[in-house]
Chains A and B, each alone.
Chain A
Amino acid sequence: DAGVIQSPRHEVTEMGQEVTLRCKPISGHDYLFWYRQTMMRGLELLIYFNNNVPIDDSGMPEDRFSAKMPNASFSTLKIQPSEPRDSAVYFCASRGDRSSYEQYFGPGTRLTVT
């Protein structure tokens, strides 16, 4: 299995631009998570899905952030408009219902907003 795939690996954009991060979970996994990692705040859960349905988005910082999961093999995290404080590494993780709670993380997308 290829593991969780994220794209792009690096993104540099200017303030005000729209940014879309993409994630392909491990085939057969029922849960998908989006995390953000910064030096100041550490690892934060933004949102998670179960069977493509958003379950908890309480970690989404503000309305500029949105996430979708149109099917079991694809999810996006969109920031519109982006701001410098959004600069972080964004991780996607997936979990199979029978995997004893282990989350499998992707390599992350490093976002820099100038």
Chain B
Amino acid sequence: AQSVTQLDSQVPVFEEAPVELRCNYSSSVSVYLFWYVQYPNQGLQLLLKYLSGSTLVKGINGFEAEFNKSQTSFHLRKPSVHISDTAEYFCAVSAPRGAQKLVFGQGTRLTINP
């Protein structure tokens, strides 16, 4: 079985500052990894995913993430955040054979201060 730990429940940053949201996973098999964003009162939207290949993955809205197999991590980064990035961010994992089932972390609430 897979599990996901998002190390920070809340991350406050100032506008235009860089941000890193941390995600660690646990799995006995290879995994697919995802980051989703949830804006207030909305459903989740895919930011980016890692299935295979390059460990640096670029997504929408200027976000990127790096898959680190040895550290079982998939941290999300953005070099300069905007007020509009205020949202909750979820890391998720699935095993390739069961890739229909996503296991989500608890989420990190990103708050951007002017």
Contact = CB atoms under 8 A, between A and B. Distances in A.
Nearest to A103: B102
- Chain B interface residue bracket vs A: 20 to 34
B53 interface: no
Contacts of A24: none
Contacts of A93: 43-44
B69 interface: no
| Secondary structure call for the A interface | strand
Contact of A45 (B32, B34, B102, B106): B102
A12 interface: no
Contacts of B90: 43
A42 B43 contact: no
Interface stretch (B12-20, B75-83, B93-101): B93-101
Nearest to A95: B100
Interface residues of A, number: 21
Interface stretch (A67-75, A78-86, A104-112): A104-112
Contacts of A91: 43-44
Contacts of A55: 100
A100 B96 CA distance: 11
A101 B51 contact: yes
Contacts of B45: 105
Contacts of B103: 45
A42 B108 CA distance: 11
Interface string B21-40: 00000000000101010000
B43 A101 contact: no
A87 interface: no
Given A31-B100, A45-B102, 6 more contacts: A43-B90, A43-B104, A93-B43, A103-B46, A107-B43, A108-B42
17 contacts: A4-B43, A31-B100, A42-B105, A43-B44, A45-B101, A48-B100, A50-B100, A91-B43, A93-B44, A101-B32, A101-B51, A102-B49, A103-B44, A105-B36, A105-B45, A107-B41, A108-B42
